Structure 1
Amino acid sequence: MPASLFTPYKLNDTLTLNNRILMAPLTRCMADDDLVPTQTMADYYARRADAGLIISEATIIRPDGQGYVNTPGLYTQAQVDGWKVVTKAVHDKGGKIFAQLWHTGRVAHPFFFGEGNGEVLSASNIGIEGTIPRNRELMYQQPKAATGEDITQLVADYATAADNALKAGFDGVEIHGANGYLIDQFLHYSCNNRTDEYGESPENMARFAIEVVDGIVAKIGHERTAIRLSPGAYFNMEPDSRDRAVFDYLLKQLESRQLAFIHLGIFDDAMEFDYLDGKASAYLRKHYNQTLVGVGSYTAETGNKAIEANEFDLLAIGRAFIANPDYVSKVRRGEELTAYDDAMLAELV
């Protein structure tokens, strides 16, 4: 049994986790048509409350942030009330849960927020090719570069969503700044060609992410604020060696803010990036000395070894939690895990 995984972990003076296993955010498209969390979602998360911390499926901060069908929101009272049922179910089982706050940026589609009710926003007017997952007939749209006024409103909306998260009973929030979505679109040269105070230099390109962090911290405190980052461009993003300087700067700024944690956003941490001198997790550990969450095709055994080698402090598990609602107890007892299969995505167990 990998003992280190079951050691309690003190995030800060406000939050202590029962173990070092996190349930990674997993987009399941379980909300109703008004993007309100359902009783099915409450049951789903409650069955996984043995995790040291659950990070919710990505949850949009406002209507024009939606890029996938039936993804929940945190911007209406009905959505807040729906999440209250979910968080209570988790807390009643002794668990803790953070809301992952999301705006998909150029991956959004007007189909979801209504033609004429807003434009697809991004760092720049650089789009991507392809179709919307689960809605293959919908082609990605050309985005509009967010104006200064747009950015100010986005920062405010992130902060409001964080405040709504705590009103809904969440223990904190994780800002989704990874995986090619809106915040990440400002952090990479392949999709940020701005020439104003949000582009060109590392300091400028990191500005939006920092403003979102500071806006949320001002609302709910640094102890309950975390962020997910993808220093290595790999998903809906082209790599650029200049990105390294952006993340060097951003990580230095984030360290001074004493967040709950930084969570790596990557599908497979075996990937290496020339401009990061290897794995993204090793790069984060080298440049960030506070709590780090590792993820990316780890098993309990390999993740435990990485924790013991000080590669990161907490381990996020994704697909295995879909296949094994009782993942933590199975690992603790050394039982065989049910293998994940894509067909399980149609099941909400």
Structure 2
Amino acid sequence: MSHDPLFCPLRLGQLSLQNRIVMPPMTRSRAAQPGDVATDLMATYYAQRAGAGLIVSEGTQISPTGKGYAWTPGIYSPEQVAGWRKVTDAVHAKGGAIFAQLWHVGRVTHPDNIGGAQPVSASALRAEGVRVFVDKDNTPGFVETVTPRALSVEEIAGVVNEYRQAARNAIEAGFDGIELHGANGYLINQFLDSESNARTDQYGGSLQNRLRFLREVVEAVGGEIGMERVGVRLAPLTTLNGTVDADPEQTYTAAARLLGELGVVYLHIAEADWDDAPVMRGEFKQALREVYPGTLIYAGKYDAARARAAIAEGWADMVAFGRPFVANPDLPERIRHDLPWAPHDPATLFGGDAKGLTDYPKADGSAA
């Protein structure tokens, strides 16, 4: 199948990837409590899917205040690092490669998730109408976000250092690299998009100022672990969690150019994929290709045919399949042999136990 674009090997930094298929980050909310620690069950889940050319872990918070949703894992404590080591060892034992997605949600949280503290953001602007998952006194449920407070310049430097330490922790946990979550309305996105950043200092106003936080975080983690181990995820057209940009093509072409200049190993573009979502124009994708020379990954309701076309046409190097990986632990083999894809059970996506996580069978009906 060497003629199949999805199964051509790819060099990613120091890694030799077996195919162009990515398992992207997907929140599953099954970390052990208390402590938000990755578990043996999570290790099984990721190892089952090690046939992907690259796995990017579910978002893992870099600090207690970076947590947006109940039961999500962290990577700031020794116990969390040890938990993730089980995951990376299991994936590597199956011949896979895995990056950790580093996550700070900023304003997309609630005091119940962060020890009663007020959430922080680029500006004191609430994510209107956004609800987050909390577990207050063993009573899980969804609540609306609250108004955050704007980070001071001194505090911004502290958050940048939290990203730096989280990147170091990820390498100590055995990850092959890290992905910065700069998409879907979380903290980096809150600085980047014009309508969520009302600052008047060096982090707000002009496009170059709004790019400053992204630049500083990338430089910090790249300086700590090497740019060949750093990827970044962006979502140019998404309006998830209330972040909107007045001119996304200009903003995100500039961001891609910056990331190319800094030398990050890949840029992961999350296309808007809900019903009636804005379509990402081919000209926009080509503009990103022209300004960013590294590996480009695209995600957003791709099937095998669209993925092959994206790679063959040259504007993507790898393609990520999100929900299909939930119910199809052997997804690359199903793609390779044109086998049907099983549907996932939406009721088991978030929280719970092995049901809907590790009990999906392979295409032949055998256990994964």
**Helix, strand or coil at the partner of 2:194:** coil
Query: Of residues 157, 163, 171 in structure 1, which corresponds to 2:162?
Result: 157
The secondary structure found in structure 1 opposite 2:273 is coil
Structure 1: segments with no counterpart, 5+ residues:
none
Which residues of 2 match residues 99-118 of structure 1 at below 5 A?
Answer: 99-115=100-116, 118=117
- Cα deviation for residue 163 of structure 1 reads 0.2
Give the number of aligned pairs.
344
Higher deviation after alignment, 314-323 or 124-133? 124-133
Question: Structure 2: 5+ residue runs without aligned partners?
Answer: 135-139, 359-368
2:301 is aligned to: 297
State the AA in 1 paired with 2:61: I
| SS of equivalent residue, structure 1 residue 152 | helix
Is residue 272–residue 278 contact of structure 2 (8 Å, CA) maintained in 1?
A: no
Structure 1 residues 65-104: aligned runs within 5 Å: 65-104=66-105
**1:97-149 Cα shifts (integer Å, max 9, x gaps):** 0000000011022212212xx32010100102332146545221100111111
Structure 2 length as normaliser, TM-score? 0.89
CA displacement 1:213-264 (0-9 Å, x = unmatched): 0000000001000100122242123534344443333222211122110001
- 2:312 pairs with one of 297, 308, 315: 308
Q: 1:257 maps to which residue?
A: 262
Compared CA separation, residues 344 and 137, structure 1 to 2 (3 A): closer
Q: CA deviation at 1:336?
A: 1.2
Query: 1:131-175: CA deviations, max 9, x gaps?
Result: 214654522110011111110000000010000000000000000
Tell me if structure 1 keeps the 8 A contact 2:271–2:298. Answer: no
Distance 1:278 1:192, change over 3 A: farther
1:67-124 deviations in whole A, cap 9, x for unaligned?
1111100000000000000000000000000000000011022212212xx3201010
- Say which is worse superposed, 329-338 or 293-302, in terms of deviation: 329-338
Partners in 2 of 1:73 and 1:313 — Cα distance?
Answer: 30
C-alpha change, 1:272 and 1:138, in structure 2 (3 Å) is closer
Q: 1:279 offset after TM fit, Å?
A: 7.4
Query: Separation in 1 of the partners of 2:343 and 2:123?
Result: 41
Residues 232 and 279 from structure 1, CA distance in 2 versus in 1: closer, same or farther, beyond 3 angstroms?
Answer: farther
* Contact 1:159/1:219 (<8 A) preserved: yes
Q: What SS is found at the alignment partner of 1:71?
A: coil
Counterparts in 2 of 1:89-238, with a 5 A limit?
Answer: 89-115=90-116, 118-130=117-129, 131-133=131-133, 135-238=140-243
Q: CA deviation at 1:266?
A: 2.9
Structure 1: distance between partners of 2:61 and 2:119: 14
Question: 1:188-218: per-residue Cα shift (whole Å, max 9, x none)?
Answer: 1111010000000011000000000000000
The change in CA–CA distance for 1:238 and 1:159 in structure 2 (over 3 A counts) is closer
Secondary structure in 2 aligned to 1:321? helix
Seen in structure 2, the aligned counterparts of structure 1 residues 293 and 137 have a Cα distance that, compared at 3 Å, is closer
Residue of structure 2 in register with 1:24 after alignment: 24
| TM-score, with structure 1 as normaliser | 0.93
Residue identity in the other structure for 1:348: L
User: 1:56 and 1:7, CA in 2 relative to 1: closer, same or farther beyond 3 A?
Assistant: same
